[in-house]
Each structure stands twice: as C-alpha cells, then as structure tokens.
Amino acid sequence: MIDLRNLTIEKAHEHFKSGDFTVTDLVNEYLKVIKEKNGDINAYLEVYNDVLDQARVAEGMFKNGTATLMTGIPLALKDNMLYKGHIASASSKILENYVATYDSFIVKQLKTQGVVFLGRTNMDEFAMGSSTETSAYGNTKNPIDTSRVPGGSSGGSVAALAMDGALVSLGSDTGGSIRQPAAFCGLVGLKPTYGAVSRFGIISMGSSLDQVGTFGKTVEDAETLFNAINGYDEKDSTSVKKEERIQPLPLKKKIGVPRSFLSGDGIESDILKNFEENCKRLEKAGYEIVDISLPLIKYSLAVYYIISPAEVSSNLARYDGIRYGLHEGADKLYEVYTKSRGKGFGKEVRRRILLGTYILSHGYYDAYYNTAIKVRHAIKEELKNAFKEVDAIITPTSPFMPFKFGEKLSDPVGMYLSDLFSVPANIADIPAISIPSGKNSEGLPFGLHIMAPLFREDILFTIGKDFEKLV
Ligand code: GLN
C-alpha cells in the first residue's frame, strides 16, 4: 500500500528512483481508488484507456536516464484540455463526442516529460460556474463533505486530488475557477500570470482572462507542475517570451490588506475571523502586514461579468452544429444553428451568450463593453501602484464556505459573488494562489488568497511555503 495522502511529486520521484515502487505500481493504486470512489464523487468523466501504456513509457525514461522530476507523475486533466485522440467535451452536450485532433501545448510539454494522464475531469459547462453544477454530466461531490459542492469550474480536478485519485491536476481559471475550488477542497490552487502558460489547445471561455494553472496538496507540488508547463509558445499570440518577463527582485517582506474591500456585504463572519488569524500567522513568519487602499478593486466583479460574457458570446459562436460536435438536421441553415445550439448548450451557457450578445450589440457596446475595458485598465493601474509598496496582497479566497447542492443554482447573482476576491487577479492579468488556512468547526476548509505582481509567481511560492508551515 502506498501512502497516497502524504505523497508529493518529490517523494514519488525518490521512490521511482530507489525502486520502492514503479510508475505502474503507483498508477494502479490510483486506478484502484478511482474505481472505488469515482462512482460516488464523479470527479472523472473518463479514465483514459492508455494509462498503463503511458506508465510504461515513463518507466522507459527512468531506465534510459531521461527521466525528470515530472516523469511518471499521475495527473488529471480538466475536460477542456485537448489530448490528441481523446474526448474533450468542456462538460457540454455540444461537444459530447468531440475527439481532440491535436495536443494542447501543456499536454505536449508534459508528454515529453513522461507525465501519466489518468483521465479528464468534470467541470462547469465551458467553465461557466462556481460549483460544477452546470456540467451536462452530473454533479461532482466535495470529498470532504459529500453533501456539498467542490467549487468550480475546475471541481472535478480538485475532487480527483482530494479523494486521492491523482497526485496533481490541472485546471483553468477565468475568474477564480482554480482558486475557489482549491479553497473548497482544502488544496493549493495556482492561477499564473496571463501569458505565462500557453492557451493553445484549451477550449476557450474568455480569451483575455483564461489561464491554465495547477493544483497540488502542497505549494511545492503546485510550483513544480507550474514550472513544467510554464513557457513561451509561438502558437498563442498572448504568450509572453521569457526575456520580456519581469525578473525577480528581493522581497520587501511587506503584505497589503485592502481593508475596505473586506467590509462588503455577503462575506461570512467565520471567513473574516480565519482571515485575521492568517494575518497573524504571516506576522509570525516575519512579514509586515499593512492596510492598503484599493478603491477601484470592488468594481472587478462588475467588469468581469461584462467582459467575460462578451468574450463567451463570440468564442462560442463557433459551435454552429456544423464544424464541431452535436449536429441537429433541419431544412434551413438557420434552423441547424438554432436547433443544435438550443439542444447542445445548457442554461448557464445560454444565459452568458445572451448577456454577451446584448453587451456587444449596437447601441450598448460603448455603454457596457467599452466602459468595462476602461475600468479594467484603471484597476490594473491601481494594483500596479499598490505593488510599489507591498510584495503581495491578501484576502480570503471565497466570501463563503463550501455550500450545499442547489443552494445557489437558482440565484445566478449569488453564485457570481463566489468570484468576489478571485476575479481582480484575472482582470489585472496577475498571478494568484489559494492556500489552505485551517478548518471551521464542521471540518470545512478555509483558503487564503495571495496576489503578486505580473510574472512574480516566485513571491506566491515563497510566502505560500512560509504560511503553509504555520497552519
Ligand atoms: N465562476 C466564474 C464564472 O462563472 C469563473 C469561472 C472560471 O474561472 N472559469 O464565470
């Protein structure tokens, strides 16, 4: 029996090298857990049929001396990441049988390092949601408390890890889809800087906000996986070259707290109490905690719910019933579109398309879209200035604890509030991480959210590792 709960990338690597167990042994352990638990949790939509072949390739790399730290590490992919020859459905009916014809950049990178892709995980349809309840393939349960949601949209990727059904996993984050589920399931979730990881081969939601990121049980695992996928890709025009990225500078050991942002409505008192404890922990670790004023940051959520639906409405126009996936036959071309899209898209996706189409329509474009773009710019400047004084900015990850199924599904605006603290990082393109910060009396996890300047993921890892030791 392998102690999966306490296994990290580094430990697994040591075991592979010393011969304590092989990649196949480890993969078989995970397959066993998945078989036992996935029927109930529904973290995976599919376990790939070539898992053991992949394990053998990794073992070959250990034999011929080409193995790296990531070789043989069993990983879960989110259902919006293309892996050649396998289905990627974005948990939507419209892409139910869509088989990827090429590898996404991240899959290609990891393949050459001998990573083992275990399967694809459930998510909110096209990554729109905060609970994984908008998936066309059923709910994913939170392994910590199965009456509650795992968060979303990368709910399957975190649940896979939380149930010990993978060593690490990948998610995507447009407004919080990595960090909020990480907080809900007691794991570490990293959203890198926009442009750090290629979006090539990732099914788009909001192209100016989407970013692939990593989940791990420890900050170090999230960091190691990030290092394995981080890099320039000429196939993504928004990918940033290494030499154009900001170089690390020494830390000031000063962290900012945007006090007025924490006094808004809808933030649970337990969350605020935990946050104050987290500030004390960081002080203990030698950081100075200072109040900072960010008067514009509270508009991030409104800006996000204008820009993201606008981008959704144009990105999802490609699903016309002809080029990809589900096709409904009809006499007239227009009816092919309406029938296929009507049948293929779920309620939340249709809501966002309608909203986005309205926002971009003649007569409203200036009032909504252009205004939001201007405010986005102002928020970016505000954060950039704040980072002249402090290394990082902290808040809770989510304004509320993991909620029960159905609790917020009929209240879209209540659901959108999940993104209150996570969305500013997407608006400003900056990196952010969620780190477990203890549990409430019911055993449900809290998360600490840390934001850093552009391309300064190193700050998140440094503070994260210092913090992790004190929880
Ligand atoms: N919860 C947010 C939304 O529904 C964020 C989703 C995401 O990051 N993909 O849009």
Q: Give the closest residue to 175 by CA, choosing from 196, 154, 161.
A: 154
Residue at token pair 């996890």: 445
Please indicate, yes or no, whether residues 216 and 323 belong to a single structural domain of this protein. no
308 close to ligand 1 (CB < 6 Angstrom): yes
Give the H or E element holding residue 384. helix 371-386
If one counts every other C-beta atom within 10 angstroms of the C-beta of residue 27, the result is 22
**Residue 251 is part of a domain; what is its CATH number?**
3.90.1300.10
Q: Give the closest residue to 186 by CA, choosing from 123, 143, 220.
A: 143
Please indicate, yes or no, whether residues 462 and 345 belong to a single structural domain of this protein. no
Please indicate, yes or no, whether residues 23 and 63 belong to a single structural domain of this protein. yes
| Last residue in a domain, options 340, 365, 390 | 365
129 close to ligand 1 (CB < 6 Angstrom): yes
* Ligand 1: nearest atom to the Cα of 206: 9
How far is Cα 30 from Cα 22, in angstroms, rounded to an integer? 13
155 close to ligand 1 (CB < 6 Angstrom): no
Q: Give the closest residue to 160 by CA, choosing from 141, 139, 179, 136.
A: 141
Please indicate, yes or no, whether residues 314 and 226 belong to a single structural domain of this protein. no
Q: CB burial class (10 A; 0-12, 13-18, 19+) of residue 329?
A: exposed
Please indicate, yes or no, whether residues 146 and 23 belong to a single structural domain of this protein. yes
| Last residue in a domain, options 326, 341, 365 | 365
Catalytic residue chosen out of the listed positions 130, 131, 177, 239:
177
Backbone angle region of 147, left / alpha / beta, with phi > 0 → left and psi within -120 to 50 → alpha = alpha
How far is Cα 181 from Cα 183, in angstroms, rounded to an integer? 5
205 close to ligand 1 (CB < 6 Angstrom): yes
174 close to ligand 1 (CB < 6 Angstrom): yes
Helix (H, G, I), strand (E, B) or coil at 71: coil
How far is Cα 296 from Cα 300, in angstroms, rounded to an integer? 8
* Ligand 1: nearest atom to the Cα of 205: 9
How far is Cα 286 from Cα 237, in angstroms, rounded to an integer? 40
Please indicate, yes or no, whether residues 340 and 208 belong to a single structural domain of this protein. no
Structure-token pair, residue 364: 């409203």
Q: State residue 44 phi and psi, 5-degree precision.
A: -95, 135
Model pLDDT, residue 265? 83
**What's the structural domain count of the chain?**
2
How far is Cα 320 from Cα 338, in angstroms, rounded to an integer? 8
Please indicate, yes or no, whether residues 201 and 211 belong to a single structural domain of this protein. yes
Q: How far is the CA of 352 from the centre of ligand 1 (A)?
A: 11
Q: First CA to last CA across the chain, in angstroms? A: 28
* Ligand 1: nearest atom to the Cα of 176: 8
Q: What share of the chain is helix, strand, coil (3-state, %, to 5)?
A: 45, 15, 45
What is the extent of the structural domain holding 321?
A: 308-365
* Ligand 1: nearest atom to the Cα of 129: 4
Please indicate, yes or no, whether residues 229 and 340 belong to a single structural domain of this protein. no
78: annotated active-site residue: yes
How confident is the prediction along the chain (471 residues), in pLDDT tens digits per residue? 899 999 999 999 999 999 999 999 999 999 999 999 999 999 999 999 999 999 999 999 999 999 999 999 999 999 999 999 999 999 999 999 999 999 999 999 999 999 999 999 999 999 999 999 999 999 999 999 999 999 999 999 999 999 999 999 999 999 999 999 999 999 999 999 999 999 999 999 999 999 999 999 999 999 999 999 999 999 999 999 999 998 788 899 999 999 999 988 889 999 999 999 999 999 999 999 999 999 999 999 999 999 999 999 999 999 999 988 899 999 999 999 999 999 999 999 999 999 999 999 998 999 999 999 999 999 999 999 999 999 999 999 999 999 999 999 999 999 999 999 999 999 999 999 999 999 999 999 999 999 999 999 999 999 999 999 999
80 close to ligand 1 (CB < 6 Angstrom): no
Q: Give the closest residue to 80 by CA, choosing from 194, 217, 199.
A: 199
Please indicate, yes or no, whether residues 44 and 138 belong to a single structural domain of this protein. yes
171 close to ligand 1 (CB < 6 Angstrom): no
Model pLDDT, residue 394? 98
130 close to ligand 1 (CB < 6 Angstrom): yes
* Minimum CA distance residue for ligand 1 atom 5: 175
Q: How far is the CA of 268 from the centre of ligand 1 (A)?
A: 20
How far is Cα 292 from Cα 289, in angstroms, rounded to an integer? 10
Catalytic residue chosen out of the listed positions 78, 108, 141, 217:
78
Catalytic residue chosen out of the listed positions 104, 131, 153, 157:
153
| Last residue in a domain, options 365, 382, 404 | 365
Alpha helices by DSSP H, listed for 140-284, are 155-162, 179-184, 219-229, 269-284
Q: How far is the CA of 24 from the centre of ligand 1 (A)?
A: 36
Please indicate, yes or no, whether residues 89 and 171 belong to a single structural domain of this protein. yes
Q: Give the closest residue to 426 by CA, choosing from 266, 253, 308, 288.
A: 308
Please indicate, yes or no, whether residues 137 and 250 belong to a single structural domain of this protein. yes
- What is each CA distance from 81 to 20, 97, 124, 211, in whole angstroms? 32, 14, 14, 12
Please indicate, yes or no, whether residues 372 and 355 belong to a single structural domain of this protein. no
Cβ atoms of 423 and 304 closer than 8 Å: yes
